[in-house]
Structure 1
Amino acid sequence: MKDLTGTFGNLYEPVKALIILRKTGESQQSDYYIESYDMDDKGCPINGHPLSVRESNSLAKALQAGEKKAQGFLTPKDLMPPNVLHLNSGADGYVIWHTPPQPVKLLFTENLGIPSAMAHIPALVWKAGKGSLQLFAVYAAEFEETTPLFYAPFFNIYPDGRVCMGNVRIRIPNDCGLERFMERWQEYFFNSYFSHLIGGHEPIKGNIVQLWQQLTANAEPFPTEVLNPTPYQLKNLLR
């Protein structure tokens, strides 16, 4: 069974129920009557009464706050961050961005025989939505639609770039701004333990365990010549 607890947000309890009644006649217009119910501690409606002006105003404020919160999703603080390659802020919004070659702290499970330590990684292209992440490596410092993508040289990644996050609980709030959204996904990825290759997938030329044993033991730049090309270009990440 799949553990869905990581998809849960804040818990809500019922506090009010509304029933909308409509009276229809011969005219084209209809009359509406709204009845409001409070909820008892068991979640059952009680104390039915006409919806008051005060309750109407409270409901309107709640709806406006919810709409404003949803509109904040993937909104940049100021100018668009320079490392963003593509932004889709629709209902199923996602972001594509890149990060440069850099040293990061990598975590490995004990069975791999690789120490958890700082190591240099190549430039990466990330694509993330609210609940999923794809990751690829790149040679390029400048990007266009035909930029070729390489397999990210890590464990726990499928051949199509999808990242298996294991038991990491992904929590992206509905009002998460663009900068924090990218930061959260990078934190989720680098704070999870690498444990295994998926389905015989070979992301690099040679032995990936020996590669990371070497890179965690010294401060060498990542050897990009070991990256294996994918059949994808940057344009394939757009949908």
Structure 2
Amino acid sequence: MPEILTASRSHDVALQGAVLLYGQGPGQFSYGTAHRIEPDASGRPALGAGVPLNRAALIHAVREVAAHALPKGEFLTPNVLSISANAVTWWCAAARRRVFFKCKELGERNAIVSHPALVFQASQSGFSVFALQDEERPVPNSALFEPPYFNTWDHGKICIGSAHVPKQIDVASIGGWEEGFFNSAFTHPNHGTRRVEYERGVFAFWKDMLDGQFPDFPKQVLVPMKLKLADLIAGKLEK
């Protein structure tokens, strides 16, 4: 059975307070109150009594939020392709990795098979994966291909389902995102664009892969997306 990855909770945050702003019209703020969040009788968070928000308290709150919102300096490992305030993009070299399947067409099976080079992106809008034809570190002009995997939508979107992935989007969490993908069971091919160009279809392709018919990943089955790595980094794949 696939290993379950549990995300670190060291950076979790909880609702601690609220600021209410008052004014004579939309976008006009002339008075504010600060409120603590307190549990109600059922244990749910509720707005506590407010106190006037003075200038010093407002400046302190804004500085605290701004300090934690700024991107932190991180060591960029060679697999990192791009990092922004909203996303981290990286690549995995072609390699042999174990895959897990759990569906009526293939049964419950797992095997170590060859994978193409891959590009991953974890962003505020979701988790995505793309295949590459070349095995060298990709460049902005590198062509992206459909991921040849179950549990993916069009434009590389991964259906996370019950997979355990990190809550953080940063370089330090890349390993956790990869484990969440590779250690999850593939259950079904999602609707949309075909994932592989294979005469007998995607189920037959993965059956042959699991049976060891391809010692190396057959790159001829990859479906081109007519998009480049630069498009992904620039956010042009967002829907």
TM-score, structure 1 length as denominator? 0.67
Q: Specify whether residues 34 and 121 from structure 1 end up closer, same or farther in structure 2 by C-alpha distance, changes over 3 A only.
A: closer
Corresponding pairs, count:
207
| One-letter amino acid of the structure 1 residue matched with residue 202 of structure 2 | I
Matched, 1:123 2:120: no
The two structures, once aligned, show a CA RMSD in angstroms of 3.6
* CA distances 1:7-54 after superposition (whole Å, capped 9, x unpaired): xx654355x878899xxxxxxxxxx998777776544645x77789xx
**Structure of greater Rg:** 1
Deviation at 1:231, TM superposition (A): 1.8
* CA distances 1:93-138 after superposition (whole Å, capped 9, x unpaired): 1122211011222221131315123222110112220341222111
Query: Map of 1:105-124 to 2, 5 A cutoff?
Result: 105-113=98-106, 115-124=109-118
Q: How far apart, in 1, do the equivalents of 2:93 and 2:121 lie?
A: 15
The residue number in structure 2 matching 1:77 is 74
| One-letter amino acid of the structure 2 residue matched with residue 196 of structure 1 | H
Q: Is the 8 A contact 2:19 2:34 kept in 1?
A: yes
TM-score, structure 2 length as denominator? 0.67
Matched, 1:185 2:210: no
What is the aligned counterpart of 2:97 among 104, 116, 136?
Answer: 104
Query: Map of 1:140-179 to 2, 5 A cutoff?
Result: 140=134, 141-168=136-163, 171-173=166-168, 176-179=169-172
DSSP 3-state at the match of 1:117: strand
Identity value in percent: 23
Q: How far apart, in 2, do the equivalents of 1:139 and 1:224 lie?
A: 6
Deviation at 1:236, TM superposition (A): 2.0
The residue number in structure 2 matching 1:29 is none
| One-letter amino acid of the structure 1 residue matched with residue 15 of structure 2 | Y
Q: Is the 8 A contact 1:150 1:227 kept in 2?
A: yes
Instruction: Give ranges in structure 2 of 5+ residues lacking alignment.
Output: 1-11, 24-29, 41-45
The residue number in structure 1 matching 2:131 is 137
The residue number in structure 2 matching 1:199 is 191
Q: How far apart, in 1, do the equivalents of 2:185 and 2:222 lie?
A: 21
Q: Specify whether residues 213 and 39 from structure 1 end up closer, same or farther in structure 2 by C-alpha distance, changes over 3 A only.
A: closer
Q: How far apart, in 2, do the equivalents of 1:35 and 1:200 lie?
A: 49
| One-letter amino acid of the structure 2 residue matched with residue 155 of structure 1 | F
Deviation at 1:56, TM superposition (A): 5.1
